[in-house]
Amino acid sequence: MLFNDQQVEKLVGVETPFYYYDLTLLERTLDAAKHAADKRNFHVHYALKANFNDRILSIIQSKGFGADCVSGNEVQKSIDVGFDAGKITFAGVGKSDKEIIAALKHQIFAFNVESIQELEIINALADELGEKANVSLRINPNVDAHTHHYITTGLDENKFGVPNSELEQAAAVLRSCEHINLVGLHFHVGSQITDMNVFKSLCVKVNEWKSWFEERGTYIKVINVGGGLGVDYHAPDENPIPDFEAYFDVFDKFLERNGQQEVHFELGRALVAQCGSLVSKVLYTKSGTKKHFLILDAGMTELMRPALYQAYHKIEKVGSDQYVKTVNYDVVGPICESSDCFGKEVPLPESKRGDLIAIRTAGAYGEVMASRYNLREEIRYIYSK
Ligand code: LLP
């Protein structure tokens, strides 16, 4: 249950919908991740794409994480929030010249480079600026993350990274690029991964490619294994903090590294998903011949994941009375699209206009993916300590 009775009382009259962020849970999650990583001498960069809310970012920055960015604006935001440029990486298949130039001027830690052409462009732009660009080469490891096909990234058919067939050529280009310094190799296989065997398979591929480069006389200082650790969308109260120990343990056990080599991670969802919920009010209840509908004042414009990926989010009535009867509702939003549905046949205590509904585990890829479609209002937030 998201709120206790006293908290529910405080919510009376608060304008909905809003994102509710539990900053205590955020800090506990960050501390658990940092502790498990530090113990193994692993470095974690927070993937801003999951949530770049200012308050959340400042807390993450204050805990000593680095920043993993995928746009010039994310790089700029990280710097504004106080992340050390030496702990910022810039990834993405489509970096514009303007974004590359800005990142070069900031002297960020590294670009995660996704193609041979991008290597050549970064080299040329660094030359013009009289800079040397640190890069990690993203290799597409062809590991199936067995997750939703929209969020699988490490297969041969995906657009990400340099395919294995082009690595020989990439290595030759790297040798010829005088304004590029290869610091590492980068991999990422997908998101919302809960099966640790996927990460084990990734380690096997990473070891192979690291040896491949080392056999050709290229020393790899940084092994960046990406992000992707999943969270428990079904039981946010029982499992509010992902098992970071088990996750890092896989890499500790299966990744081959010598004493000098650094292992970097880019975690997004695992750090911020559980601390956020979308809180909405029931506008109308309606019963069709076959269905009972709860029509909320939040829709796919505030949380797009169910409409876009058929993603499950736990839906609960805020401060629900245990003794009322249970009804199976289709919980829908106000947007003029049939996909604007948070859940079908969701068993909930019988509800009425004005009741509050919480959609849980919405801290990652929630607020950041919101849109103004239908000229909806700006997102509101409430933070709790
Ligand atoms: N590194 C790279 C290269 C990535 O592409 C991603 C996520 C991450 C790190 C962070 O992954 P995480 O630790 O958060 O799983 N909007 C989708 C998720 C898209 C993930 C994109 N890449 C969703 O709502 O499920």
At 216-253, the pLDDT tens digits run: 999 999 999 999 999 999 999 999 999 999 999 999 99
CA 266 to ligand 1 centroid distance, Å:
9
**CATH number of the domain where residue 218 is located:** 3.20.20.10
- Percent of the chain clearing pLDDT 70 (strictly above): 95
Asked if residue 267 has its Cβ within 6 Å of ligand 1, the reply is: yes
Ligand 1 nearest atom to the CA of residue 266, by list position: 9
Distance, CA 251 to ligand 1 centroid (Å)? 19
41 Cα to the center of ligand 1, angstroms: 23
d(CA 229, CA 34): 14
232-251: burial string, b at 16+ Cβ within 10 Å, e else: bbeebeeebbbbbeebbebb
Task: Give the end of a domain, one of 267, 283, 304.
Answer: 267
Q: Is any atom of ligand 1 closer than 6 Å to the C-beta of 226?
A: yes
Domain end: 236, 251, 267, which one? 267
Mapping DSSP to helix (H, G, I), strand (E, B) and coil, where does residue 197 land?
Answer: helix
The predicted-structure confidence for 265-307, as pLDDT tens digits, reads as follows: 999 999 999 999 999 999 999 998 889 999 999 999 999 999 9
268 lines ligand 1 (CB under 6 A): yes
Amino acid at 381: Y
Q: What is the ipTM of this complex?
A: 0.99
pTM score: 0.95
Residue 301 Cα to ligand 1 midpoint, Å, equals 20
* Residue 140 in contact with ligand 1 by CB distance below 6 A: no
E strands of 148-228, at which residues?
180-186, 222-224
Residues 246 and 366 occupy one common structural domain: no
Q: Which of these, 100, 43, 50, lies nearest to 71 by C-alpha position?
A: 100
Backbone angles phi, psi at 196, to 5 degrees: -65, -20
End residue of a domain, out of 204, 239, 267: 267
Confirm or reject: Cβ of 180 under 6 Å from ligand 1: no
- Write the DSSP string, 324-339: SPEEEEEEE-SSSSTT
What is the per-residue pLDDT across 246-273, written as a single tens digit (0 to 9) for each?
999 999 999 999 878 999 999 999 999 9
Residue 345 belongs to domain spanning: 5-19+274-384
The answer to whether 312 is annotated as binding is no
